[in-house]
Amino acid sequence: MGFAIRMPKSDPNRLWLIPQEPYTKNFIVALAKAYSVPVPVNSLRNEIELVSILLKGNPRDLLHSKLLFKCFYDTEERKNLYSEFYINIHLGQKRLELAEKDFDYRPNIVKLLSQ
């Protein structure tokens, strides 16, 4: 996906996406094209903090458990980028998935990943 994920034990309702260049920029360009939204030219920030809810899986058994999270960004709507999406982590399969909850969130997801 182009990002590393940090899941702190101290706050299980938070995830941080950490850019991993050059993969992050390549991912954002591909996502923008797949979502049919303009490709952003903004620089990437260091980390993106998300509110998250673990829907399935056991974070203590990352190698054998598939983790499914529902994620929220800009929940207080301070940045006009409110978004809801899913992040699925399959570490044993070396797979990370991102899926928007609704098509209307697509532009905001691309923007939040590239600011």
Residue 98 tokens read as: 């991102």
Q: pLDDT for 72-85, tens place per residue?
A: 999 998 999 999 99
- The CA distance from 10 to 7, in Å, is 9
Q: Contact, 80 vs 74, CB < 8 A?
A: yes
Q: pLDDT for 11-27, tens place per residue?
A: 878 999 999 888 888 88
Asked whether residue 110 carries a pLDDT value surpassing 90, the answer given is yes
The residues that bridge with 49 in the sheet, in sequence order, are 16
- The CA distance from 62 to 57, in Å, is 8
